[in-house]
Chain A
């Protein structure tokens, strides 16, 4: 496993190299966040916000109130970090980062000390076998397996493929059922590349999982990953000719989220279209009720309420900016019957922003913290479930990924 800083690295396959952050500073929010939300971050725990940018990663760590944040980084300077994960399963407190050097390729890096040191693997462990005829261009997603399988991890990569590790990220194998799928030759890259960006595991049924890619759409396996079926019925492919706008596959799905307490219910942000499924993706139904645009990338489930979802609408594919130059997060609390704008503390003038598919996240505290980052490098946070927002950082490189974690006694 990964060696941490203090020492056991020499005997390990991966060598550990110190990458102590160049910048550590406190961030005082410009405005205090609503006091009524202060019951969170209790029990001696602290919140983490992991931020991946086009030029490296940052880790923000809160005090117990989540009013003040300390930012460390950048890690992997000059490398794009599209995927991050903080994993506390199995008693660990481990951070995974997919760092992609434009020159030297993508590597999966690991830290057991919140970024003070990172592994520097000799091997690119997430790699296609020789017979695959393709090479990993980017790791787009790192996802934890089920809580009952603490050593299981998944990666979604470009070109679209799913990798699985059963030893905590030490070794990886491609899912051959998906890699060799009969549809695979017809999957096409979207604007960001042919990326597998969403991985959803059924917490109750070990045989079931679901992935989404752009473009290709949603695929589900009911046999532990041996075979996969397209699950896109009802999802529109706006960019196809008349009469072909609802194909079996080929949709440009941007994100799918679910709540573990109700895993059969899924929410989907499409390249034009907001959808919900109540049958594990067998059918999808439009829920774009009252949003300024149903185009967008980011989508985040509330950590405690399976009816509550957050999105950031974008005006159009041909103008990827927030509608009316207002930066608004939209929230539904009734599974998509209606949506409400959340704006307090967010710029409502001259805000031509974009929030990408993995740049919206929620923490798991009682009063959920919601965080998002923009392509212009602004990071916002709310510790009252979106009622009020605070600027946490401004001037970061373009933000492509925001994830959360918890540290301290009993973090899970």
Chain B
């Protein structure tokens, strides 16, 4: 079971819940995030732009590892992976 954890600011796009269970057949982070496009479009569109890229000031971790330093959206996920979305160090 793959779990995707959302930051508080995006919980409103998930019925005020902070996590969502993703289809266990997903093989990569990109696959897992893409499943949100139909289920939680508000969250999906805020994490990723319309070209399918993670937004510049958003960080995605898999089991605590930033995917920027792994294989990006191609980073594999398996088993009970936890994907965490966190706002990067920046702000307005």
Contacts and interface: CB of A to CB of B under 8 A. Distances in A.
Contact of A135 (B51, B57, B91): B51
B92 A134 contact: no
Given A17-B12, A135-B49, A135-B51, A103 B58 contact: yes
B1 interface: no
B45 A101 contact: no
Nearest to B9: A104
Contact of B51 (A101, A122, A134): A134
B46 interface: yes
A129 B50 CA distance: 7
A197 interface: no
Contacts of B53: 135
A105 interface: yes
B90 to A, nearest CB: 5
A122 B88 contact: no
Interface residues of chain A: helix, strand, loop or mixed (majority) = loop
Interface residues of B, number: 21
Interface string A100-133: 0111110000000000000011111001111001
A122 B42 contact: yes
A114 B88 CA distance: 32
B12 A130 contact: no
Interface string A15-30: 0010000000000000
Q: Which one of B50, B87, B90 has the greatest number of beta carbons of chain A within 10 Å?
A: B50
A78 B91 contact: yes
Q: Which one of B13, B41, B45 has the greatest number of beta carbons of chain A within 10 Å?
A: B45
B55 A122 contact: no
Contacts of A121: 42
A104 B10 CA distance: 9
B55 to A, nearest CB: 6
Interface in A316-368: none
A265 to B, nearest CB: 38
A102 B57 contact: yes
A102 B46 contact: no
Contacts of B46: 101, 103-105
Contact of A105 (B41, B55, B91): B55
Contacts of B58: 103-104
Contacts of B45: 105, 122-124, 127
Given A17-B12, A122-B41, A136 B50 contact: yes
Contacts of B90: 102-103
A130 B50 contact: yes
B86 to A, nearest CB: 10
Given A120-B12, A122-B42, A124-B45, A102 B50 contact: no
Interface in B17-52: 41-42, 45-47, 49-51
A120 to B, nearest CB: 7
A55 interface: yes
A54 interface: yes
Interface string B64-92: 00000000000000000000000110111
A54 B51 contact: no
B50 to A, nearest CB: 4
A103 B41 contact: no
Contact of A101 (B12, B42, B49, B92): B92
B55 A103 contact: yes
Contacts of A124: 45, 50
Contact of B41 (A78, A79, A123, A134): A123
A121 B10 CA distance: 13
B92 A128 contact: no
B61 to A, nearest CB: 15
A102 B51 contact: no
B66 to A, nearest CB: 15
A54 B92 contact: yes
Nearest to A76: B92
B50 A104 contact: no
A80 interface: yes
B39 to A, nearest CB: 11
9 contacts: A78-B92, A80-B92, A103-B9, A105-B45, A105-B49, A121-B42, A122-B42, A129-B50, A136-B50
Leading 8 A-B pairs by shortest Cβ distance: A135-B49, A122-B42, A104-B46, A78-B92, A127-B50, A103-B87, A122-B41, A103-B57
Given A101-B46, A122-B13, 17 more contacts: A17-B12, A101-B92, A103-B9, A103-B58, A103-B88, A103-B91, A104-B46, A104-B55, A105-B46, A105-B55, A121-B42, A123-B45, A124-B45, A127-B45, A130-B50, A135-B50, A136-B49
